[in-house]
Amino acid sequence: MRWRQRPPGSNWGDFGPDDQLGRANLIGPEQVRQGALEVREGRSFCLSLPLDLPGGNALNARRHPPRLSPTRANDRPYLNFPLGHVYAGATDVISDDQVLLSLQYSTQWDSLAHVGSLFDPEGDGRLRTTYYNGYRGHEHVLGPVDHGLPQRDAQGAPGPYRPVCCEGRPADASVARALGVENLAVKGMQGRGVLVDLAQVFGMDFQDIGYDQLMQALERCGATVEPGDMLLLRTGFAGLVLSMQGRPDPERLHHSCAALDGGDERLLQWITDSGIAALVADNYAVERHPPRRVPQDGSPYPVLPLHEHCLFKLGLPLGELWYLDELADALHALGRTRFLLTAPPLRLPGAIGSPVTPIATI
């Protein structure tokens, strides 16, 4: 077994010692049937932003817009390419392209390999890079270097960074041998979605949403969630991104709209108790990032506490930057909050995140 102790409040082992699906296990045949029963109007809504949005890299300096280019053979770019250059007399014209894409640039799923924690799974006092259900960094989730455990200097700032190259791996390689996003693709991520419109209840101002505010929003929207449901939160952020037409204003984006308060322990406990199978929002990180509350005594803490709780402890997939405005308008007009959600990620083995084109059907 990969662990002798599990994090407090986690569900490691509850779905089996080798589970890689986490709370997505709760989406079974009954949840899919319940989702299908919500199809009454026969109307479908695309819940993805155009995948070249937000534009630039203002939201995350590591992530860049997709870059399309032609495929090539014999140094010939196959775009508007007459096949007569290969087959004498042929009349076909071929266009064939490829893409360089940051998998979590736009509308996305986070896999369970996206956020782990420095944790002591063996109970021997030694911290290890650990992911959901005890899977290990540098063993199951592989990158080109071993970063080592972070240290602090005399002033409490991060100490020198001395990565160690890992033999036998290309300098730019990464692969999740466990917990990759392909597991969610095989599962299908189809079932009943429930929309809670935070923007309708609280407006578009910059604010944190804790347990009390979420309960207020559920009541105001007339929404209830049951185990196996996928919960979607609209803040208006993706609509704001869309309105900027690929030229995002980072100052405005970082000071607009609601986000969950990942430091609210009652909110995290509600996520555990609710039995939801996935948590989705139309904003950048679902939770407020960076957090506005951090320990002042130098004690260890997660910068992404909701990610740690959901991905690391519960195996609860997170969706980010989904576009929910048109679906919200349609559901409001009908007095509904539930719908059929179909949202499989790419079946790309070893990937840690994935763009997604979710479809809601009402």
Instruction: Give pLDDT tens digits for 41-61.
Output: 999 999 999 999 999 998 899
Identify the pLDDT of residue 294: 81
Distances (CA, A) of 209 to 117, 148, 265: 24, 35, 12
Residue type, 140: H
Compute the average pLDDT of residues 97-109.
Answer: 97
Identify the pLDDT of residue 109: 98
pLDDT band at 119 (very low <50, low <70, confident <90, very high): very high
Identify the pLDDT of residue 311: 98
Q: How far apart are CA 151 and CA 165, in angstroms?
A: 18
The single-letter DSSP state of residue 312 is I
Q: In the structure encoding, which two tokens stand for residue 294, read together?
A: 């951090």
Within 284-352, where are the H helices? 305-307, 325-334
Tell me: pLDDT of 350 over 80.
yes
Tell me: pLDDT of 356 over 90.
yes
Angle at 355 between CA 353 and CA 356, to 5 degrees: 120
Q: How far apart are CA 228 and CA 25, in angstroms?
A: 8
* DSSP string covering 265-277: HHHHHHHHHH--S
Identify the pLDDT of residue 242: 97
Residue type, 88: A
Q: Which residue in the block uniquely carries the two structure tokens 């007399």?
A: 89
Structural domains for the chain? 22-58+103-117+177-361 (3.50.30.50), 67-100 (no CATH)
Identify the pLDDT of residue 83: 97
Tell me: pLDDT of 99 over 80.
yes
**Mind listing the pLDDT tens digit for each residue in 61-98?**
999 999 999 999 999 999 999 999 999 999 999 999 99
Is 98 within 8 Å of 71 (Cβ atoms)? yes
**Mind listing the pLDDT tens digit for each residue in 120-178?**
999 999 999 999 999 999 999 999 988 988 988 877 788 888 888 877 777 788 999 99
Identify the pLDDT of residue 148: 87
**Mind listing the pLDDT tens digit for each residue in 3-45?**
999 999 999 999 999 999 999 999 999 999 999 999 999 999 9
Distances (CA, A) of 213 to 42, 99, 198, 266: 33, 41, 9, 11
Is 283 within 8 Å of 321 (Cβ atoms)? yes
pLDDT band at 362 (very low <50, low <70, confident <90, very high): very high
**Mind listing the pLDDT tens digit for each residue in 253-305?**
999 999 999 999 999 999 999 999 999 999 999 999 988 878 877 789 999 99
* DSSP string covering 83-96: GGGTSTT---EE--
Distances (CA, A) of 271 to 27, 117, 145, 254, 317: 16, 19, 34, 25, 12
Identify the pLDDT of residue 105: 97
Residue 82: enclosing H or E segment and its boundaries?
Answer: strand 81-82
Is 25 within 8 Å of 334 (Cβ atoms)? no
**Mind listing the pLDDT tens digit for each residue in 227-260?**
999 999 999 999 999 999 999 999 999 999 999 9
Identify the pLDDT of residue 209: 98
Q: What count of other Cβ atoms lies within 10 Å of the Cβ of residue 62?
A: 8
Identify the pLDDT of residue 199: 98
Q: How far apart are CA 277 and CA 268, in angstroms?
A: 14
Mean of the per-residue pLDDT values of the chain? 96
Q: How far apart are CA 147 and CA 165, in angstroms?
A: 9
